[in-house]
Amino acid sequence: MEHQLYITVLGLAGLLGLAVLMLPAAQRLNFPYTVLLAAVGLLLGIALELTGELQLGGPLGDFLAALENFEITSEAVLFVFLPALVFESAMAIDVRRLMDDIGPILLLAIVGLLISTVAVGIAVHMVSGMGLVVCLLLGAIVSATDPVAVVAIFKDLGAPKRLAILVEGESLFNDATASVVFTILLAMLLGTAEPGLVSGISDFLVVFVGGIAVGYVCAYLVCFLLRWLSGQEVAEITITISLAYLSFILAEHYLHVSGVMAVVTAALVVGSIGRTTIVPRTWHALIETWEQIGFWANSIIFVLVGLAVPFILEGIGLREVGLLAVLIVVAFVARAFIIFVMLPVFSRTGLAENVSTGYRSVMFWGGLRGAVSLALALAVMENQTLSTEVREFVGILVTGFVLFTLFVNATTIGVVLRLFGLDELSPADLATRRRALVSSLTGIGSRLERTALERELDPELARKAVQQYRSRAEEARNRLDDGEEMSDDDWVHIGLTTLSTQESNGYFRLFADRLVAPKIARILLARSNDNLDGLRAGGLEGYLASVKRALAFDWRFRLGLLLQRRFGISRPLAGQLADRFEFLLAMRTQLREQLADGLTQVGSVVSDGSMNRLRDILEKRLGDTAKALDALELQYPDYAKRLEERHLGLLALRLERASYDQMRRHSLIGKEIYGNLAHELRRRFAELNQRPRLDLGLKPEKLIHRVPFFSGLSAERTAEVAKLLRPRLVIPGERILSKGEPGDAMYFIPNGVVEVSLSADTVQLGSGDFFGEMALLSDSPRNADVTAKGFCDLLVLWVRDFRQLIDKDPQLRETIEAVAKERLDYGSAR
Ligand code: CMP
């Protein structure tokens, strides 16, 4: 029959319509949606076989004819469905969480897959008598757990986050491994490649790492484009869709590296950087669009998988059933070995965090196979250069195995979760739930009573409803201490988790309101995530350590400092200082808000006893942050003023925009006027958005005038001396000199305060003073430690220039010697 386009469209639309009908059915039957789809596909496939002869007409007949024509090919799965599905699931993964468990994930995805491939290959080879390479190929195909099936099932089940990440991470990464092993084995089978372990391993590494590189570069470019497209919501979303497909095809087809790895990497990059590149409103729309795409692809592919089954299984006989049984047993034994033996050993080496028995059992049973295995099997079946026997062998066994995991594992994985209590709330969550219930129910009774009165509802009915609420609240209050094994420490932990999440949300709001730049938002979010990680890994101590680190000078800052000191390049350091200014300002704002407001809200879900401690922790954080900011403001007061001015400007713009939005909503101004105003607003925003340049002010010819020591020199001589002096910025707490070191320079302080630690006490030196002269004069080691109290500008005079200076100006020598003697006397008098 001539196939017309409308029939294809009819088929696709019909399939989608049919698929969504399964959604409520799956809910009602408490059965995994995807498995139900595969079952529907299977039934449709059987129906097709039966009605093939009937030649039905009308829409139904055309629909069935369309389905018959939807021959699912390996290319369709790889190039149409996989990029979208992999991108969607990888984008939803929290990269930090993934990195926490990257050890076990890679172990499972690479070593585990290889072990399973070899075990299945050898066992099936021995039982079936088929060639070893064919059996290894089969092993590689059936060993890859499938992200599509796994993610779909775990989403349905509501499994704990870490467990989901372990299983999803494994399934995403092992597809790459499997397809590489597959390609290598297929080449051997076709005689285009020599079998060899070394070449196999190097091929593998190139393909794996190459895929990551392609994905990274593509995603990076897209993030750049996103900044450029900012504000054009539809364009921003579309470019991510392009990214998923382009990175896959570029990697897989043109560069012959792993397409799956490219898509996974691209999605992870967009998922982490994109969040602070795209404004939150667009981000939500983006996630929703991807969910929609994922749902369509998922719905169609599972039906198509089911549809293909009867056709593939046509040649199945008793021998195949026997082989399938062997395959299933060996594959599961291999998985058990990896998860129950290798993983614990690996954890014991300290390379990976421990994984509990419950989690391991779920991982064992939850390793579903699906579209990826089927696509690889289809690639074998479509390959005409292989013998019919090999093609049927692979096709039947893989399909049988996939069906087994879908219909047996996927439908019973919920039981395993329940067995280990993994579907229940943890004791901490339960305790929080009880408190949330009490604080919500309390007060609802009286509010309801008031509303009923106002709306003149039937007083008798209202009284009943109110009474009901009161007794529920009462009951909840009585049960508050049920099984309360939570200590105040536990509550502090919960409170800090909640506060950290609140903090992140606060930064997102600042970012959404454009009060902080994307780069600063990223810094802030990274720090607040670090705090959460610290809390998870090391409890309160870990949290406090992380909080302290957040205010410390990180490697970027130190690099800037180094560049300035060694090479006199100031820009990076100035940039770092400006960043520090901004993130400290935002952090202070956020912490103030939390102390004023957020903490009270947290009070409704944590115990009263922990509230004081939480308040102390927040207050200490606010104090430290304010101190760090004060140190900066003291050093760069002009810049601080300009930043504040800009902040006020941005706040005003935000208010202005809100006001226009409101007028537009109330139809007081039309679209044209609004557009005109918004345009003007954008222009002013762009102006304000340029942050002022921070001038380090490290100019010896200026700074020298702040040191009285040089005031007696003629203007000409001052200019000469200035050339000998090297400016240097030191940061709070930095040790400038250490006792006992040889003296190589002396220092003048144009701005700032340092502390000299003598053996008995400490002396502070401030703007205009100098230090480090004693070691130079007497050729002896430094006699004290000198540390910066805050930021200081220093002028450094190296020993050679020092000698030259005092030889030329005896007056200066006398002054220095007098000061040094005084200091020495002071020291010996103690
Ligand atoms: P130097 O010994 O080179 O290194 C340590 C410096 O600390 C020393 O030079 C002086 O500049 C400074 N120093 C030592 N003692 C005192 C003091 N009593 N008062 C102020 N500064 C001092």
Q: How does pLDDT run across 575-601, given as a tens digit for each residue? A: 999 999 999 999 999 999 999 999 998
Burial class (CB in 10 A: 0-12, 13-18, 19+), 182: buried
Residue nearest to atom 18 of ligand 1 (CA): 823
Phi then psi dihedrals of residue 795, to 5 deg: -115, 125
What tens digit of pLDDT does each residue of 431-451 get? Answer: 888 888 888 888 888 888 899
% of the chain residues with pLDDT over 70: 98
- State the pLDDT confidence band at 53, using cuts at 50, 70 and 90: low
Distance 504 CA to ligand 1 centre (A): 46
From the CA of 782, give the closest atom in ligand 1.
2
What does pTM read for this prediction? 0.76
Closest CA to 312 of 401, 427, 234, 194: 401
Decide if pLDDT at 739 tops 80. yes
pLDDT-based confidence at 542, cuts 50/70/90?
very high
Helix then strand then coil, in percent of the chain rounded to 5, is: 75, 5, 20
- Ligand 1, residue 822: give the atom nearest the CA: 18
Mean pLDDT to the nearest integer, 636-665: 93
- For residue 144, the 8-state DSSP code is -
- The C-alpha torsion from 95 through 101 and 103 to 108, rounded to 10°, is -100
CB atoms within 10 A of CB 332: 17
Ligand 1 pocket, residue 747 CB under 6 Å: no
- Between these two residues, 500 and 59, which has the higher pLDDT value? 500
Q: Which two tokens stand for residue 121?
A: 């290959």
User: Looking at ligand 1, which residue's alpha carbon is closest to its atom 6?
Assistant: 772
- The confidence band for 549, taking pLDDT boundaries of 50, 70 and 90, is very high
Kind and range of the H or E element at 720? helix 715-724
Is the CB of 785 within 6 Å of ligand 1? Answer: no
Q: What is the spatial distance between Cα 770 and Cα 760, in angstroms, rounded to a whole number?
A: 21
When pLDDT is averaged across residues 545-566 and rounded to a whole number, the result is: 93
Which is nearest to 215 in space by CA: 181, 175, 180, 255? Answer: 255
Q: What is the pLDDT of residue 141?
A: 94
For residue 276, pLDDT over 90 is answered with no
- Mean pLDDT across 323-339: 95
Question: Could you tell me the CA-to-CA distances from 647 to 557, 631, 654, 678 in Å, in that order?
Answer: 24, 20, 11, 20
Range 794-801 average pLDDT: 95
pLDDT in tens, 410-434: 889 888 888 888 777 777 788 888 8
Determine whether the shortest distance from the Cβ of 743 to ligand 1 is under 6 A: yes
3-state secondary structure of 536: helix
Q: Over range 666-686, report the average pLDDT.
A: 91
Q: How far apart are CA 532 and CA 570, in angstroms?
A: 34
**Strand-by-strand arrangement of the 785-788 sheet:** 735-737, 785-788, 754-757, 762-765
Q: Which two tokens stand for residue 805?
A: 């200076």
**Closest ligand 1 atom to Cα of 746:** 3
User: Are 182 and 141 contacting, i.e. CB atoms less than 8 angstroms apart?
Assistant: yes
625: CB partners within 8 A, 6+ apart? 551, 584, 587, 588, 591
Give the per-residue pLDDT at 54.
65
Angle value at C-alpha 206, between 200 and 207, nearest 5 degrees? 85
* pLDDT computed for residue 74 by the predictor: 83
Is a pLDDT exceeding 60 seen at residue 1? no
Cα 783 to middle of ligand 1, angstroms: 6
Q: What is the pLDDT of residue 484?
A: 66
Ligand 1: centre distance to CA 495 (Å)? 48
Q: CB count, 10 Å around CB of 574? A: 21
Indicate if ligand 1 lies below 6 Å from the C-beta of 799: no
709 Cα: distance to centroid of ligand 1 (angstroms):
16
The amino acid sitting at 740 is: G
Task: Give strand pairing partners of 798.
Answer: 745
Q: Report the distance separating Cα 137 and Cα 181, nearest Å.
A: 8
Residue of the CA atom closest to atom 7 of ligand 1:
784
Give the bridge partners for 726, in sequence order.
796
Could you tell me if the CB of 732 is within 6 A of ligand 1? no
What is the number of the ligand 1 atom nearest to the C-alpha of 771?
Answer: 11
- Across the range 536-556, mean pLDDT stands at 91
Please tell me the distance between residue 148's alpha carbon and the centre of ligand 1 in angstroms: 69
303 touches ligand 1 (CB under 6 Å): no
Query: Residue 362 pLDDT > 60, yes or no?
Result: yes
Ligand 1 close to Cβ of residue 6 (< 6 A)? no
- pLDDT single digits (tens) 110-131: 999 999 999 999 999 999 989 9
Average pLDDT in the 695-710 region?
92
**For the chain, counts of helices (H) and of strands (E):** 37, 8
Amino acid identity at 416: V
**Please, what is the end-to-end C-alpha distance for the chain in angstroms?**
109
pLDDT at site 3: 60
Q: Is 774 in the pocket of ligand 1 (CB under 6 A)?
A: yes
Could you tell which of 771, 815, 819, 830 is best to mutate to test the pocket of ligand 1, judged by most ligand atoms within 8 Å of the CB?
A: 771
Q: Work out the pLDDT band at 655, boundaries 50, 70, 90.
A: very high
Residue 827 C-alpha to ligand 1 middle, in angstroms?
A: 9
Mutate to test the pocket of ligand 1, among 738, 747, 755, 756 (most ligand atoms within 8 A of CB): 756
What's the Cα-to-Cα distance from 294 to each of 26, 39, 85, 321, rounded to whole Å? 18, 20, 5, 34
Q: Is residue 826 lining ligand 1, measured as CB closer than 6 Å? A: yes
- For the Cβ of 782 lying below 6 angstroms from any atom of ligand 1, the answer is yes
User: Is residue 687 pLDDT above 90, yes or no?
Assistant: no
User: For residue 53, which phi and psi values (nearest 5 degrees)?
Assistant: -75, -30
User: What integer is the mean pLDDT of 140-160?
Assistant: 79
Give me ligand 1 centre to Cα 150, in Å: 68
Distance CA(678)–CA(671), nearest Å, equals 10
Euclidean distance between CA atoms 786 and 281, whole angstroms: 52
